[in-house]
Amino acid sequence: MCGIVGYLGPKPALPVVVEGLKRLEYRGYDSAGVAVVRDGRLGVHKSAGRIHVLEQSLDLNAEEGHLAIAHTRWATHGAPNDVNAHPHIDASGRIALVHNGIIENYQALRKYLTQQGITLVSETDTECLVQMIGLRYRGDIEQAVREVLLDIDGTYGIAVICKDEPDVLVAARKGSPLIVGVGKDEFILASDASAILAHTSHVIYLSDGEIVRITPQGVRTTTLNALPVTKELEEIEWTLEQIELGGHEHYMAKEIFEQPEALRNCMRGRVDGKHGTVHLGGLAEHWRELTRARRIVLTGCGTAWHAALVGEYLFEELARVPTETEYASEFRYRNPIIEDGTVVVAISQSGETLDTYAALREAKQRGALSLGVVNVVGSTIARETDAGVYLHVGPEIGVASTKAFSGQVTVMAMIAAALGRRKHMSQPSMELFLSALSEVPDKMQRILEQADLCREVAQRFHERDNWLYLGRGYNYPVALEGALKLKEISYIHAEGLPAAEVKHGPLALIEEGMPVVFIAPNGFQYDKIVSNIMEVKSRGGHVIAVATEGNREIARLAEQVIYVPDIIDPLQPLLTVVPLQLIAFHAAVLRGCNVDKPRNLAKSVTVE
C-alpha cells in the first residue's frame, strides 16, 4: 500500500522522485523519504507526515545526483515517525532501500542481525532487509539482493541503491506491484503507473519472483535463481490528463462525476443493444466452460465485496447459476470446497489486493476456472487469472472507491446477461436488459444534477455520530456500500443492513433524530420497505429516502427524499449508490476531513 519511486537518467533525480511521490500519495501518506546517490555519497532525507512536509525540508536543486529512490508510507510495523520512515540504510551507510509489503520472518532476522553486532534503529521489518543486504554485499548490489531475498518469507516490492554503484538501480517484487517506465535514456521505477506517466507511457511489468537491474545501458530482468526473463514493453492505457484533478478540488468528486462517461467507456464495443448481444473479448475462449459452470464464487474486499454481492444476485437471477460471495481474506484461510465446474471471480480495482490475489491463487490450485474483474491493465490479478474483463473506467485516485464500484457492477451485469442468454434467456429479454443497461449513464447524469440536494442532507445530519443504511434485495449491498463510504471518509459510525433485519436487534439503536437512510426505489419489495420505514419513524429516527422519480407517497414518510430515475431491479444499484456517494463526500467536506486521503487507509491494500 506504500508508494515507491526510483529514477536513473540524465535529469536531476530528486525533483523527479518527489513529483512521483505526490502522484502516489493516495497509496500511503503517514511518512515519506528519499535517498540520492551523488559524487560517491548517499544522501537520505525523510520525515513523518505528508509529502509536502518532506518537500519543505528539501532543497530540490541541491542534490544533483541522477540516481534516487523515494517512498511514501502506510505504516504496518512501527509508528509513523522520522526513524521508521523509508528509505532505510545499512550499518555501513552505503546502501538504501525502500519497501512495500510485510516481511513475515523479520523477528528471526532481527535476532540474527543482533547476533552479528548490528544495531537496529527502527521498529520496522524493512530495516532488517537492508541490513541483511549490507552484510551480504561484496561489490555487486544485485547479487546481494538476490541472496537475501532467497531467505525472505513474506511480500515485498523493493528498490535498492548503493553509493558504490552510482549507475545501478535494483528492484524486485513478490506480491507488491512494481513497474519500470522506459523513456529516452531514462528509467522510472514505480509501484503505480501514475508516477510514470509524466515521463513515458512505455513500461515493463515485473512479475512475482523477478529482479530487475537498471543501468544507463538498459534493463535486465532475471528470476531469483538468476535465470534470464524476456519482458515485453507495454503501453499504459491511461493519459496524464486522466490522473489530474481537472478543475475539481477533490479526486473523489471528480470520480463521482466521471461515472456516466466511465460506464460508457466500460460498455463501449461490448454492449450491442440493437442485436441484443454482449461482446467480452477476455472471455471469448471460455464461454463453454462458463455455460457448464455449476457454481460461481465471487471474492473481493471492501467495496469490491459489495460489488460482488450485487453480482451474486445478478448471476443467480439472470444466469440461474448458484453463486456465493466470499470475503477474500476469509476464503484464503479456510478449507474451501472447490468442485468440478466451479468458477472463481476475483474482483479488485487495483488488481493488486493481496487477500484477493491469495484467494484466487488458492482457488486455482484447487482446479477452479479463475476470472478477474479489475481496472488496472497489467496488474497481478489480471495476469494470473485464466481470463477476465477490464473495467476501463479510467484511473481511480481517491482512496474511497466510487466509479470502480459502478464499473464492477456493470461488468458483472454484462457477464451475467451474456451467460444467461447462453443458458435460458430469450432474445427479447436480452434486448430489454441491454437497453436498460445502456440507459444507465444518462440516468446517472440526472442524479448527479441533484448534488446540491445531497449536500443539504449532509449539512443537516453531518454532526450526527451514528447513521443506519437499510435496503432490500439488490439494494442491500448498496446500503453496505453507502455506510462504508460514510465511515471511510467522514469518520462517522455507520452500519448497513438488510432492511428486514432491523427488527431483529438493530431497532434498539434507533433514537430520536438518528439519521436512517432507506434505499427504497420502486420494485417488488417496495411495500415491505415502507413497513420498515414506519418502524423506524415511529421510534424517532429521521428517515432519508432514495426513491424512484414520481413516488410522492414516500415524501410523506421521509424527512428528505432524493429521487433516482426508474430502472429495472437488477440495475438499481448503479443509480441508488450515487446519492450515497455524494452524501458521504459532502459530509466529509463539512466535517473538515481529508476526502481523498482518509486517516489510516490507503488505496491499494497489498499487505494483510
Closest CA to 77 of 127, 148, 114, 111: 127
* Residue from 2, 128, 162, 266 carrying the catalytic annotation: 2
d(CA 21, CA 53): 12
Please tell me the distance from the alpha carbon of residue 187 to that of residue 209, in angstroms, as a whole number.
Answer: 21
Pairing between β-strand 41-48 and β-strand 218-223 as defined by DSSP bridges: unpaired
What DSSP letter does each residue of 264-307 carry, written as one string? HHHHTTTEETTTTEE--GGGGGGHHHHHT-SEEEEEESTHHHHH
- Residue 222: is it exposed, middle or buried by C-beta count within 10 angstroms (0-12/13-18/19+)? middle
SS3 87: coil
Long-range contacts of 272-278, Cβ-Cβ distance < 8 Å, separation of 24 or more: 272/434, 273/431, 273/434, 273/435, 273/437, 273/438, 276/421, 276/427, 276/428, 276/430, 276/431, 276/434, 277/418, 277/421, 277/430, 277/434, 278/414, 278/415, 278/417, 278/418, 278/421, 278/434
Which residues, in sequence order, are CB contacts of 23 under 8 Å at separation 6+? Answer: 192, 194, 195, 198, 243
Residue 316 is given by DSSP the state I
- What sign for the dihedral angle of Cα 343, 428, 306, 586? positive
CA 333 – CA 454 distance, rounded (Å): 41
DSSP code of 120?
Answer: P
Cell output for 314: 445478478
**Dihedrals phi, psi of 562, to nearest 5 degrees:** -115, 125
Pairing mode, strands 515-520 and 466-471: parallel
Strand, helix or coil at 588?
helix
Q: Please tell me which residue in 46, 254, 485, 603 is annotated as part of the active site.
A: 603
- Kindly give, in sequence order, each residue whose CB lies less than 8 Å from that of residue 292, ignoring residues fewer than 6 positions away: 341
Q: Is 266 a catalytic residue?
A: no
Q: For cell 469518520, name the residue.
A: 491
- What DSSP letter does each residue of 521-540 carry, written as one string? -SSTTHHHHHHHHHHHHTTT
Task: Let me know if 2 is a catalytic residue.
Answer: yes
Phi-psi region of 572 (alpha: psi -120 to 50; beta: other; left: phi over 0): alpha
Query: What separation, in Å, do the N-terminal and C-terminal C-alpha atoms of the chain show?
Result: 10
Q: What is the 3-state secondary structure (H, E, C) of 171-222?
A: EEEEECCCEEEECCCCEEEECCHHHCCCCCCEEEECCCCEEEEEECCEEEEE
CB 315 within 8 A of CB 416: yes
DSSP state of 569: G
- Residues annotated as part of the active site: 2, 603
